[in-house]
Amino acid sequence: MQILKLQIIDNHEGVRVGQIYMDLFEREGKSRVACLAPLRVGYSPSDRMVRQEPLLALQTSLRSSRTMSFKELQTLFHEFGHALNFISTSTSFQHNAGTVIHIHIAL
């Protein structure tokens, strides 16, 4: 099993703004459902100086690390788009972060 960890850095500010764990490849016993799950959402509560950075889990079931079908590419970009929503969130309220749903499943 190979899990990739991406640390998203704001080069202008020099700070980490989020992390994404990516479980991309199919294996026996793994669900074939592609999804993005927020493990911790990012938000900036008004009573704190520091933003809570998002921690996300992205899952797909790609068949190969060398080639992918157009559908697999669409699914990966779709789920990564959700991750970008969570990384880009700037809100004072946790429940307004990201896609404002618990889990989005791409069929």
Q: Which residues of the chain have pLDDT under 70?
A: 45, 47-48, 91-107
Report the pLDDT value the prediction gives residue 42, as an integer from 0 to 100. Answer: 81
Q: 33, 85, 95, 28: which is closest to 59 by C-alpha?
A: 33
Report the pLDDT value the prediction gives residue 97, as an integer from 0 to 100. Answer: 64
pTM for this predicted structure: 0.79
Report the pLDDT value the prediction gives residue 53, as an integer from 0 to 100. Answer: 87
Structure confidence by residue, pLDDT tens digits, 60-85:
999 987 899 999 999 999 999 989 88
Strand partners, 74: none
For the stretch 51-79, what's the b/e string if a residue is b when 16 or more beta carbons lie within 10 angstroms of its beta carbon?
bebbbbbbbbbbeeeeebeeebeebbeeb
